[in-house]
C-alpha cells in the first residue's frame, strides 16, 4: 500500500496519497455513508432527515497527536510531516497543494477523472483533504509493512468514517466493509487494507486489520520520534542497512535542512580513510547538478544546494543548509504547474 522509499518523497502530497489512495489502494470495499452532500457528489440520492441534528465542530488535533499511535518497532524507518506548519510556509497553500495533488493523480491517465471525483466527495462532505491535514506519522517495517497515523481537522463532519467510505466507493466502484469494535470504526477493502477511526480527528492506515487494531487505542512509539513534531519534515530511515536522519525546520525567515547519513561498506571505509576527499567529491557532485536544475522546474532548490555545507565524523556524512522560506513557496508553485513526468526528467 505504502512504500518506505516513497514516504519521504511523497510527504508533501500526503493529502493526495490519502484522498486518491482511498479509492483503490488504501481501502476499497459495503457501507453506506453520510452526509448527504457527499452522497450527491458521489452520484447518490440520499437525503438527510429534515429534523437531523447538526453536528458540533470537533476540536482540531494538537501537534504530536499522530505520534501517540506509533508502534515501538519501526525497523525500516519513521517519517513525520508537520503539514499544518508546512502549509503555513506556502503562499496560497490550499490552492497550490491541490494542484500538486491533481498532477500526482494525472501521472496515471486512467485516474484523472477518478481522482477529481474522490476529491469532490471529500470537499462536498465537509473535508478538504489538503487544508484539513494537520500532521502525518509513518512507521515502516520490513516487507513494506507500514502503518500511518494522520491527524485531520474534521470540522463539523459527524461521521468521518462514512465520508471516507463514500470517497472509497467513488474511487474504486466498491464500498468498503464497515465494522465498529470497542469504539473504533474500521473500513476494510477486498484486499484486506484497513483504515481505522479512533476519534479525535485521527485516521489510521495499514495493510491489515491487526496492525491497525494494535495501535487503535494508542501505542508506545512516540518517544522514538524524538523532536519530530518541532519539524516541518522529519525522517529516520533504517531500511536495507541505511541509517539516514532527515530534518527540515523553521528558523526565522529561513528553513534549516539537515541530513546525516551513516555510511557503510566501501563508502564508509573511504569516508573514514579520507574524509576531506569524500567531502570534496560530494561538493563536486552538488555543483554539477546546478546547471540542469537552474534551467528546469526545480530551480527553487538551487539556493539550498549552493548553501550546502558538508561535514564528516567517523562513518557519518552530514549536509546542512539554510535557505529562504520563499524558496519553498517557489518550489511548491513550480511543482504544482509541472507534470510528474517532467519533474522526473528534471532530476
> Which grid coordinates are listed for 20?
486518491
Q: How many domains does the chain have?
A: 2
Q: Which of 63, 74, 65 is nearest to 7 (CA)?
A: 74
8 occurs within a structural domain: yes
Same domain, 147 and 193: yes
Domain assignment present for 235 = no
Query: Residue 216's closest CA among 198, 194, 236?
Result: 198
User: What is the pLDDT, as a whole number, of residue 90?
Assistant: 67
Residues 258, 207 share a domain: no
303 and 208 belong to one structural domain: no
Contact 119, 56 (CB under 8 A): no
Res 111: pLDDT: 59
Give 86-107 pLDDT, tens digit per residue.
Answer: 877 765 545 665 665 555 545 4
- 229-272 per-position pLDDT tens digit: 999 999 999 977 779 999 999 999 999 999 999 988 888 899 99
Q: Kindly state whether residue 233 falls inside one of the protein's structural domains.
A: no
**Residue 42 predicted with pLDDT over 70:** no
Say yes or no: 159 and 19 in one domain.
Answer: yes
The model carries a pTM of 0.79
Query: Is residue 242, in this structure, part of any structural domain at all?
Result: no
Question: Average of pLDDT values for 186-199?
Answer: 92
Predicted confidence at residue 97, as pLDDT, reads 57
Residue 236 located in a structural domain: no
Residue 303 lies in a domain: yes
The whole-chain average pLDDT of the chain stands at 80
Give rounded-to-5 percent helix, strand, coil for the chain. 45, 25, 30
Q: Are 342 and 282 in contact (CB under 8 A)?
A: no
**pLDDT higher than 80, residue 109:** no
CA–CA–CA angle 33, 37, 39 (5° rounding): 40
Boundaries of domain holding 64: 1-45+59-225
Quick one: pLDDT at residue 46?
37
The three-state secondary structure class of 34 is coil
16 and 117, same domain (yes or no): yes
Does residue 221 fall inside a structural domain? yes
Domain annotation covers residue 259: yes
Residues 197 and 344 in one domain: no
C-alpha to C-alpha distance for 92 and 336, rounded to whole angstroms? 11
**Least confident interval from 75-89, 132-146, 268-282, 325-339:** 325-339
State the average pLDDT over residues 32-43: 33
* pLDDT for the residue 95: 63
Question: Are residues 301 and 344 part of one domain?
Answer: yes
Q: Which three-class secondary structure state does DSSP give residue 193?
A: coil
Same domain (yes/no): 202, 300: no
Mean pLDDT, to the nearest integer, of 105-133? 75
Same domain, 86 and 197: yes
Q: CA quadruple 27, 29, 35, 39: dihedral positive or negative?
A: positive
In sequence order, the 6+-apart residues with CB closer than 8 A to the CB of 216 are 69, 182, 184, 196, 198, 204
Q: What is the mean pLDDT of residues 322-330?
A: 89
Indicate if 186 and 259 belong to the same structural domain.
no
Same domain, 273 and 125: no
- pLDDT over threshold 80, residue 83: yes
Q: Are 36 and 117 found together in one domain? A: yes
Amino acid at each position: 500500500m505504502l512504500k518506505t522509499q516513497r514516504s519521504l518523497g511523497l510527504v508533501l502530497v500526503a493529502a493526495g496519497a490519502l484522498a486518491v489512495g482511498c479509492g483503490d489502494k488504501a481501502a476499497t470495499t459495503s457501507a453506506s455513508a453520510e452526509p448527504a452532500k457527499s452522497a450527491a457528489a458521489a452520484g447518490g440520492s440520499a437525503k438527510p432527515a429534515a429534523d437531523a441534528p447538526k453536528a458540533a465542530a470537533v476540536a482540531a488535533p494538537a501537534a504530536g497527536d499522530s505520534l501517540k499511535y506509533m508502534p515501538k518497532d519501526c525497523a525500516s524507518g519513521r517519517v513525520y510531516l508537520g503539514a499544518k506548519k508546512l502549509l503555513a510556509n506556502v503562499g496560497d497553500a490550499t490552492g497550490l497543494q491541490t494542484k500538486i495533488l491533481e498532477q500526482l493523480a494525472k501521472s496515471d491517465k486512467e485516474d484523472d477523472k477518478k481522482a477529481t471525483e474522490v476529491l469532490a466527495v471529500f470537499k462536498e462532505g465537509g473535508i478538504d483533504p489538503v487544508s484539513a491535514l494537520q500532521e502525518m506519522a509513518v512507521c515502516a517495517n520490513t516487507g513494506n509493512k507500514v502503518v500511518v497515523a494522520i491527524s485531520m481537522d474534521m470540522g463539523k463532519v459527524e461521521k468521518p468514517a462514512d465520508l471516507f467510505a463514500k470517497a472509497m466507493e467513488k474511487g474504486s466502484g466498491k464500498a468498503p466493509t464497515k465494522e465498529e469494535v470497542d469504539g473504533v470504526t474500521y473500513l476494510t477493502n477486498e484486499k484486506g487494507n484497513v483504515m481505522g477511526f479512533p476519534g479525535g480527528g485521527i485516521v489510521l492506515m495499514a495493510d491489515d486489520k491487526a496492525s491497525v487494531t494494535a495501535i487503535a487505542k494508542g501505542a508506545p512509539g512516540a518517544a522514538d520520534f524524538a523532536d519530530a513534531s518541532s519539524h516541518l519534515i522529519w525522517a529516520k530511515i533504517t531500511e536495507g542497512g541505511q541509517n539516514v536522519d532527515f530534518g527540515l525546520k523553521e528558523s526565522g525567515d529561513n528553513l534549516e535542512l539537515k541530513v546525516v547519513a551513516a555510511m557503510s561498506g566501501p563508502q564508509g571505509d573511504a569516508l573514514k580513510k579520507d574524509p576531506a576527499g569524500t567531502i570534496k567529491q560530494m561538493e563536486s557532485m552538488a555543483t554539477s547538478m546546478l546547471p540542469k536544475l537552474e534551467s528546469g522546474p526545480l530551480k527553487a532548490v538551487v539556493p539550498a544546494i549552493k548553501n550546502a555545507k558538508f561535514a564528516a565524523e567517523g562513518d557519518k556524512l552530514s549536509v546542512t543548509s539554510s535557505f529562504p522560506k520563499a524558496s519553498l513557496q517557489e518550489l511548491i508553485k513550480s511543482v504544482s504547474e509541472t507534470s510528474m513526468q517532467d519533474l522526473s526528467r528534471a532530476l
